[in-house]
């Protein structure tokens, strides 16, 4: 499997993985979303966007609709081939891993609330775009955060009280018996809190819907078109245009947006070198559950579910009564296809629902999420006056950016046209560099082992 820490290219024209999303959406057939195909000539444009995931598609859509700029998107493989088409399809008011209480202590009340409002705006933007006719198998609203031990249930209760006070957020506290009786009988859950506004959907269909809206607005989406920054400091000698090379043509652009997140190749651009950690997340989808199996688990809900472990598990019941279940994957791309990781998830699922002891896996795949050192996404532009001042990026969603990546794309569009963004760390600071960057995966290995100890004994 492509490994962004080791490989300098994600490939060219590689098909979608054998995932549930690609299968049910028609990603392996002629029914997949229409794009503009590979770039086959030299072009000169105003804005080039690298990556046809949520961020890139949103940036292009908002540039066209709100600012009259018709950008070109360049995608190495297929639209949403990366994390945008591989994730669990959770729409949540969150991004990054930094708690709001930590933000409040670090930056104060006003900044913390500003970041919260941006996360809320992300969900609102997604809902608005879905409302334009995107068919993405949206399920009933509700996000359940389950406690994996009694101590964490007390912590969740405290969290619910704080969020009600801080944001007037409607948070429901569920005892173990209430959770089992009204939602699902997860034997690993010791209670939960439930938010009213999260929901699940088909993430690949969602991306295809964004692409359709963007192309209707005049955006060009070139798939099977991997790009590289040309030499000579990423700029041509004759002009200030940024030069990108592709297999069949050269692109000259006044501005370039890097929207590749966890799939950014090794050494892709100096502005982002050593500033992210790509981490594999593993997902399985089971065979459909029978009516008897659903009844045995009292699996009444289609709400999205996540637990409180340091190494989190997450799951949801899909429209065809399969269970999607996810968690951490291998550390390297080479280990991604090892069946151990899928079987490990199935084993954990069966401990939550012992009645599913004979359940089998129908789909298993993995994908790279993008971790930031400070646990926050950053939308950033190269410093004014520097050789990279016309290069922009949005990265570091830390595994929970399905909704915020769309808001990030919208803010990127504003930054590209020179508008002033809210004065928040999301928008006015660069991704911090990882210290001892070559040893990032050693640190990841250490964190995984720490997480296992913490989750099992604390």
Q: What integer pLDDT is reported at residue 232 of this predicted model?
A: 57
pLDDT at 234 over 70: no
Q: What integer pLDDT is reported at residue 20 of this predicted model?
A: 98
Q: What integer pLDDT is reported at residue 456 of this predicted model?
A: 86
pLDDT at 410 over 60: yes
Average pLDDT in the 6-34 region? Answer: 93
> What integer best gives the mean pLDDT of the chain?
95
pLDDT at 398 over 80: yes
Banded model confidence at residue 452, pLDDT cuts 50, 70, 90: confident
| Segment (H or E) for 248 | none
Q: What integer pLDDT is reported at residue 408 of this predicted model?
A: 97
Q: What integer pLDDT is reported at residue 97 of this predicted model?
A: 86
Q: Which of 104-108, 117-121, 191-195, 234-238 has the lowest mean pLDDT?
A: 234-238
Average pLDDT in the 113-135 region? Answer: 96
Torsions phi, psi for 315 (to 5 deg): -160, 170
Q: What is the CATH number of domain 20-88+204-275+373-445?
A: 3.50.50.60
Banded model confidence at residue 33, pLDDT cuts 50, 70, 90: confident
CA 292 to centroid of chain Cα atoms: 34
Instruction: State pLDDT tens for residues 286-301.
Output: 999 999 999 999 999 9
pLDDT at 435 over 70: yes
DSSP 388-443: TTTEEEEE--TT--TTHHHHHHHHHHHHHTTPPPPSSHHHHSPPPPPTTGGGHHHH
Q: How far apart are the first and last CA of the chain?
A: 34
Average pLDDT in the 274-280 region? Answer: 97
Instruction: State pLDDT tens for residues 136-180.
Output: 999 999 999 999 999 999 999 999 999 999 899 889 999 999 999
Provide long-range contacts, Cβ within 8 A and 24+ apart, for 431-440. Answer: 431/272, 431/275, 431/276, 431/372, 431/373, 431/378, 431/380, 431/393, 431/395, 431/396, 432/275, 432/372, 432/373, 432/374, 433/274, 433/275, 433/373, 434/274, 434/275, 434/277, 434/373, 437/274, 440/5, 440/277
Report the 10 Å Cβ neighbour count for 185.
Answer: 19
Q: What integer pLDDT is reported at residue 319 of this predicted model?
A: 97
Average pLDDT in the 94-107 region? Answer: 88
* Token pair 């399920």 in the structure block, residue: 139
pLDDT at 365 over 70: yes
pLDDT at 235 over 50: no
Banded model confidence at residue 455, pLDDT cuts 50, 70, 90: confident
CA-derived radius of gyration, the chain? 22
Q: Where are the domains of the chain?
A: 20-88+204-275+373-445
Banded model confidence at residue 236, pLDDT cuts 50, 70, 90: very low
Q: Which of 95-99, 130-134, 373-377, 381-385 has the lowest mean pLDDT?
A: 95-99
pLDDT at 359 over 60: yes
pLDDT at 280 over 90: yes
Banded model confidence at residue 444, pLDDT cuts 50, 70, 90: very high
Structure tokens at 430: 């660069």
Count of alpha carbons within 13 angstroms of residue 98, beta-carbon side: 23
| Segment (H or E) for 309 | none
């Amino acid at each position: 499997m492509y490994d962004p820490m080791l490989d300098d290219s994600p490939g060219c024209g590689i098909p979608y993985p054998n995932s549930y999303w690609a299968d049910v959406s028609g990603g392996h057939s002629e029914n997949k979303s229409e794009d503009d195909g590979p770039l086959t000539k030299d072009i000169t444009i105003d804005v080039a966007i690298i990556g046809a995931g949520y961020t890139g598609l949103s940036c292009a859509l908002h540039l066209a609709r709100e600012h009259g700029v018709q950008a070109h998107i360049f995608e190495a493989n297929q639209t949403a081939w990366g994390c945008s088409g591989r994730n669990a399809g959770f729409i949540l008011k969150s991004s990054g891993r930094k708690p709001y209480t930590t933000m409040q202590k670090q930056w104060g009340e006003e900044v913390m609330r500003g970041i919260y409002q941006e996360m809320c705006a992300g969900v609102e933007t997604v809902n608005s775009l879905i409302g334009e006719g995107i068919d993405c198998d949206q399920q009933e609203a509700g996000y359940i955060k389950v406690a994996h031990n009694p101590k964490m249930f007390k912590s969740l209760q405290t969290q619910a009280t704080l969020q009600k006070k801080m944001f007037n957020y409607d948070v429901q506290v569920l005892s173990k018996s209430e959770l089992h009786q009204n939602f699902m009988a997860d034997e690993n859950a010791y209670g939960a809190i439930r938010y009213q506004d999260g929901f699940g959907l088909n993430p690949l269909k969602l991306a295809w819907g964004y692409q359709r809206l963007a192309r209707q607005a005049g955006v060009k989406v070139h798939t099977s078109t991997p790009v590289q920054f040309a030499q000579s400091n990423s700029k041509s000698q004759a002009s200030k245009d940024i030069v990108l090379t592709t297999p069949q043509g050269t692109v000259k652009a006044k501005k370039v947006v890097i929207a590749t997140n966890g799939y950014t190749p090794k050494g892709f651009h100096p502005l982002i070198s050593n500033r992210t950690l790509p981490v594999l997340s593993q997902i399985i989808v089971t065979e459909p559950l029978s009516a008897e199996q659903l009844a045995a688990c009292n699996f009444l809900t289609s709400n999205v579910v996540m637990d409180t472990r340091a190494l989190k598990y997450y799951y949801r019941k899909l429209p065809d009564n399969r269970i999607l279940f996810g968690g951490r994957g291998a550390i390297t791309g080479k280990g991604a296809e090892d069946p151990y990781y899928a079987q490990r998830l199935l084993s954990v699922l069966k401990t939550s629902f012992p009645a599913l002891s004979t359940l089998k896996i129908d789909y298993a795949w993995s994908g790279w999420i993008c971790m930031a050192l400070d646990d926050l996404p950053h939308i950033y532009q190269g410093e004014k006056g520097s050789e990279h001042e016309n290069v922009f990026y949005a990265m570091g969603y830390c595994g929970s950016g399905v909704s915020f990546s769309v808001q990030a794309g919208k803010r990127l569009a504003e930054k590209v046209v020179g508008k002033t963004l809210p004065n928040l760390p999301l928008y006015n600071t660069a991704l911090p560099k990882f210290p001892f960057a070559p040893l990032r995966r050693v640190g990841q290995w250490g964190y995984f082992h720490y997480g296992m100890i913490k989750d099992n004994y604390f």
